[in-house]
A and B are shown apart, each in its own frame.
Chain A
Amino acid sequence: MAEPLLEVKGLSVDYEVGAGTFHALSEVSLELPAGHVVGIVGETGCGKSTLAHAIPRLLREPPARIRSGEVRFRGMDLLTLPKWKLPLVRGTGISMVFQEPINSLNPAFRVFDQLAEAVRIRKMRESGQAPGLVPGSEGFDYSKREGPKPADALTRPLLPSRPEARKGFSRVLHRVDFREDALDYLRLVRINDPETILDLYPHELSGGMRQRIMIAMALSEKPSLLIADEPTSALDITIQAQVLTLMKELIEEIRTSILFISHDLGVIAEMADDVGVMYAGHLVEFGPVDDVYEHPRHPYTKALLRSAPNQYKDDGPLPSLPGSVPNLSRLPSGCSFHPRCPLAKPVCSDDPGPVLEVQKGTAAGHEAACYFSEEVAGLP
């Protein structure tokens, strides 16, 4: 089997703040094969965002500290890479869409300046004028994109704005060369009237619009891996639906590899091939999304699925899980879920806790970290 695009092995991250050491991630391991969409679900504070930021080394260190582990991306260990080499991996290698579109575009620059900057970095790397990872060819295909839609014909100039001869890379590329590219990517994320939008400042755009531009910016570098860190959580519900539909369509169009972080089980079911469930900094279950949802093998996954609102089930209050998430600075010994677990036995509090194990009798690649995973099916 070929090496996966991204392989996270035993990643542990702490936050060292005045109040103590918070174990945000404990021994998280997962694989993301090229062309796959892997979803990560979990409740607030379970370490999803820390995981998303730790992979491209975007955590602010300090207060964050990567205690141990390995993040192998296209054959490189990102955690041992010298700091100055990290920018070479970012962008064309790993790109990211953040949670808050309000803050994620620079307020001082026009949309065009920010988009052209991304396109320029990619083209400079492709042409060998700047060092950095060249977009790989693992399992994604930008050529499948549809041609311009009829509406675009109205806004697209009849003649190309620059002579073809300039396309030779004999000179250093300048951002004004990328207007057409920038327009293409705005059309890709279904923005009407991209010509006007390009010359606006971020504060003149709505949240949904800004998030589309963030997505366009991330895709314009043709990243091998796109990390989407709750890209719709900060948007209101109708815009959420639009952006999700867009992302769903883009996943179909551009089979790129995506790590999709969300707290919404339904969104993950729609988007992802595989899903990882996180609890208190641990990855407790991982597997093909249908199999995990149908046959959960960890009591936390079971409880999470049971407490999700269901429009067809209208018999009384939503079930909830007793107890609350443990304080990350004082994790319980052994399995961190055992204080709330209906299956807990004395062995569950013995260190070290259970690790991810392949589950028999399920789809291939389904793993769970529970000593009594066979009994989960019998829970209510």
Chain B
Amino acid sequence: MGRSKGDLVIFVSKRLIQLVAVLFGVVTITFFFTHVAIPNPCYVWSGPRATQATIQQCIDKNDLDKPLFDQYVLYLGKLLSGDWSTSPRGVPVLPTILAAFPETLELVLAALFLMVAVGIPLGVIAANNSGRWSDHLVRTFYLSGWATPTYLGGVVLSIAIGPLVGLPHSGNFGSIPSFPEPFHMSVIDALVSLNFPAVVDAIAHLILPATALAFINLGIATRMTRGSMLEVLPMDYVKTARIKGLSDFWVLYKHALRNSLISTVTVLGITAGSLLSTSVVIEEIFQWPGVGRYAFESIVKYNFNGTIGVVIFFAVGVVVANLIADILYGLLDPRVDWR
């Protein structure tokens, strides 16, 4: 049996070693894409009225006159030593991302929470009433979410539904918070400072962007749950649970859902990664101070170091999300070996 704690440690270590390879590939590809596409961004960085001297100074400072491969080796060396360079305006990349990434994480986790808390029960309801009107209603609901482009859903929520229901629709705090932000996650920071009005405020600001992010991906959780529930419900062990005298609720949500969740969790792991990239659009619409907005700005302003930094964080996010999904998969299904 490959299910002891030691096996889990080996399993996680193997995946983390794979992560190093993934990161190396991601950094290499992003570096060459950006630098080959725009070989000399100094003309942009220095502004429209820059003198030739200023531009030359910028080129010297950024080693842009060296061969591309030398630039790459230089950059890798700096990256490994922990210096992630700066933006063209001299703002260091790593601290900026470290401050912004948790904000995005908060948004993604809130969206995942909504997908689990709303999407999975909807899938169970649809499967249990398959072919009846409630099934059709649920399917219409999640298909409409699926068919909505990210920006459209976000804009509609932000400018139409948000003001209508009186929810704040931009930024993560109504005013500049008067308490420290050690975690850069508004809800948790407010909780830690025991500032409960701020907790309510932070959650209120979170609802619309998280809903926008979740609504589009809700269909995946609901559809997977519905599909695997339909496979599980005719199984004998569901009949066993019924004949024991368990009520429908426990039959569905304990015995049947436990076995259906296996495929849902796998898909949610993949989705969690893609939520990060979807957040780029959502954060721009809702003025959320997360890493998605930083990514957008970096790309528009030829901030190569910033772009690579964000890509590294996104890659780690995707790999870790899948790793967590795989661990949960093993926890849910005792027949799976961690190997």
Contacts and interface: CB of A to CB of B under 8 A. Distances in A.
Interface of A: 53, 56, 58, 60, 62, 84, 87-96, 98-100, 103-109, 114, 117-118, 121, 125, 132, 201, 203, 214, 217-218, 221
Question: Which residue among A104, A106, A107 has the maximum number of chain B CB atoms within 10 Å of its CB?
Answer: A106
B243 A91 contact: yes
A216 B246 CA distance: 17
A322 B246 CA distance: 46
A218 B240 CA distance: 9
Contacts of A88: 245
Given A103-B235, A104-B239, A105-B237, A90 B244 contact: yes
A107 B333 contact: yes
A108 B332 contact: yes
Contact of A98 (B239, B245, B259, B333): B239
Contact of A201 (B234, B235, B334): B334
Interface of B: 131, 233-237, 239-248, 255, 258-259, 332-335
Contacts of B245: 87-93, 121, 125, 132, 221
Contacts of A118: 244
A56 B243 CA distance: 8
Contact of B240 (A93, A98, A201): A98
A98 B334 CA distance: 23
Contact of A94 (B243, B332, B334): B243
Nearest to B132: A62
Contacts of A203: 334-335
Nearest to B238: A106
A95 B243 contact: yes
Which of B233, B234, B239: most chain A CB closer than 10 A? B239
A107 B335 contact: yes
A106 B258 contact: yes
Given A96-B239, A98-B239, 11 more contacts: A56-B243, A58-B242, A60-B234, A84-B248, A90-B243, A90-B244, A98-B236, A98-B240, A104-B237, A107-B237, A201-B335
26 contacts: A56-B243, A58-B242, A58-B243, A87-B242, A87-B247, A89-B245, A90-B244, A91-B244, A96-B243, A103-B237, A104-B236, A105-B237, A106-B240, A107-B237, A107-B259, A108-B259, A108-B333, A117-B246, A118-B244, A121-B245, A121-B246, A132-B245, A201-B334, A203-B334, A203-B335, A218-B243
B61 to A, nearest CB: 60
A114 B334 CA distance: 15
B232 to A, nearest CB: 10
Nearest to B249: A87
A103 B233 CA distance: 12
Contacts of B233: 60
A353 B246 CA distance: 41
B132 to A, nearest CB: 10
